[in-house]
Amino acid sequence: MSASASTIIVGDKHVELPVKSGTIGPDVVDIGKLYAQTGKFTFDPGFTSTASCESKITYIDGDEGILLYRGYPIEQLAEQGDFLETAYLMLFGQLPTSAQKADFDYRVTRHTMVHDQMNRFFQGFRRDAHPMAVMVACVGALSAFYHDSTDISDENQRMIASLRMIAKMPTLAAMAYKYTIGQPFVYPKNDLDYTSNFLRMCFAVPCEEYVINPIYARALDKIFILHADHEQNASTSTVRLAGSSGANPFACIAAGIACLWGPAHGGANEAALKMLTEIGHPENVQKYVAKAKDKNDPFRLMGFGHRVYKNYDPRARIMQKTTHEVLNELGLKDDLLEVAVQLEQIALKDEYFIEKKLYPNIDFYSGITLKALGFPTSMFTVLFALARTVGWIAQWAEMIEDPSQKIGRPRQLYVGPDRRDYVAIGQRG
């Protein structure tokens, strides 16, 4: 028996819907409760109040603006740690000793090369392809190269897959960048640290020595730490859902990259910089704030708002400080920073933003720093994906190791037609 457009089935009864079918409003919550009471399921579009798993990796207190990785405050990790140390923490649950760190760095470094056939794979793309499209494809393609080593029931195989994933992301990301600008690929140089190696693969050119600028390396490493994990965000949930069927982990990460790309999620860093560029001058800010408040205008302030943070995103605070530091240290001035600061100040005093608890998120300031480091806008979400790979793979491994893990399979509230009989094509009205 199916429900009509205005009813739902509870037990064996049709129950009138309290709202028009398909409408998502406060009354729908009652339907969810109704379902829960009958022992069926809850109706929770967007999973606003559904926990899908237990996790020991990341803790967020959205009301207070607190973010902890394995119990450590993001502020401390960003100021005092480095990205591979954070990766170790994500994977193993503890900060490494010096010996463990050296061993981990060595093990990651051993896997930075990609198969030579990957070079040919790249040649199939248009030069103007978006680097996120290229990343979805290339990371997915890793599953074809490493399917042999991904018996996910074997702990060692899972670890090798994790190390390969973390190690190869910078190489692929740099290749995606070089390909779009028509320069030859630069191979990894493994006596460099993770982030410096990545910078060199992106910015070294043939016949010229590339000198790592420590300001760039430190700033980018910090940005990677800030992006490493964020519990069950859309892309991580995608990785877990794909992985819940036992799929190849490289394919699961490719699914996560695809999800991250959207402007409501990681793609907001690219969209935010484009928005700031379009605003162009602090005196235009008010106009854009008004647009964002207008219910008849789909425009939103990119880099503003968050599903969980109803307070300032702690990463945005660190990002804002880093942006100022990097521009000062490099002796640069970017007018977009003035626009961003003005936008934040006006929005935070505005009734609409106060009432809806909309604050800058991590994507609001990151673009200005990445621009100062020399990355084009189209690479911003790729850098996010590079860093988030650590969280994705740690969450994937945690899920595989969880004895209560089941295939992810949400239910739906059917609001389509009742059963009806097939009518031959010539007899349809």
Ligand X SMILES: O=C([O-])CC(=O)C(=O)O
Ligand Y SMILES: CC(=O)SCCNC(=O)CCNC(=O)[C@H](O)C(C)(C)COP(=O)(O)OP(=O)(O)OC[C@H]1O[C@@H](n2cnc3c(N)ncnc32)[C@H](O)[C@@H]1OP(=O)(O)O
Give catalytic residues, as residue numbers.
306, 363
Q: Does 366 bind ligand X (CB under 6 A)?
A: no
Q: CB of 305 within 8 A of CB of 358?
A: yes
Identify which of residues 268 and 413 has a Cβ nearer to ligand X in the complex. 268
| 332-361: contacts with ligand X (CB under 6 A) | 361
Q: Which of 296, 282, 294, 299 is nearest to 344 (CA)?
A: 282
Q: Does 168 bind ligand X (CB under 6 A)?
A: no
Q: Which of 25, 22, 1 is nearest to 11 (CA)?
A: 1
Q: Which stretch binds ligand Y (CB under 6 A): 8-16, 193-201, 354-362, 419-427?
A: 354-362
Q: Does 152 bind ligand X (CB under 6 A)?
A: no
Helix ranges (H only) for 45-193 are 74-80, 83-92, 98-109, 117-123, 131-145, 155-181
- Residues belonging to the chain: 429
Q: Does 66 bind ligand X (CB under 6 A)?
A: no
Identify which of residues 232 and 244 has a Cβ nearer to ligand X in the complex. 232
Q: Say which residue the tokens 């990259």 belong to.
A: 257
Q: Which of 46, 182, 298, 426 binds ligand Y (CB under 6 A)?
A: 46
The interface partner of residue 308, options being ligand Y, ligand X, none and the CB cut-off 5 to 8 Å by kind, is ligand X
Residues binding ligand X: number (CB under 6 A):
7
Provide CB contacts within 8 A for 155, sequence distance 6+.
none
Q: Does 189 bind ligand X (CB under 6 A)?
A: no
Q: Which of 150, 233, 323, 366 binds ligand X (CB under 6 A)?
A: 233
Q: Which of 68, 152, 308, 415 binds ligand X (CB under 6 A)?
A: 308
- In angstroms, what is the minimal distance from the CB of 231 to ligand X? 7
Q: Which of 70, 111, 230, 371 binds ligand X (CB under 6 A)?
A: 230
| 298-337: contacts with ligand Y (CB under 6 A) | 300-307
Provide φ and ψ at 68, rounded to 5°. -125, 135
Q: Using CB atoms within 10 Å of the CB of residue 325, give its burial: 0 to 12 exposed, 13 to 18 middle, 19+ buried.
A: middle
Q: Does 292 bind ligand Y (CB under 6 A)?
A: yes
Could you write out the DSSP letters of every residue in 279-321? H-SGGGHHHHHHHHH-TT-----TTB--SS-SS--HHHHHHHH
Q: Using CB atoms within 10 Å of the CB of residue 214, give its burial: 0 to 12 exposed, 13 to 18 middle, 19+ buried.
A: exposed
Give the binding site for ligand Y (CB under 6 A): 46, 264-266, 268, 292, 300-307, 356, 358, 361-363
Give the binding site for ligand X (CB under 6 A): 230, 233, 306-308, 361-362
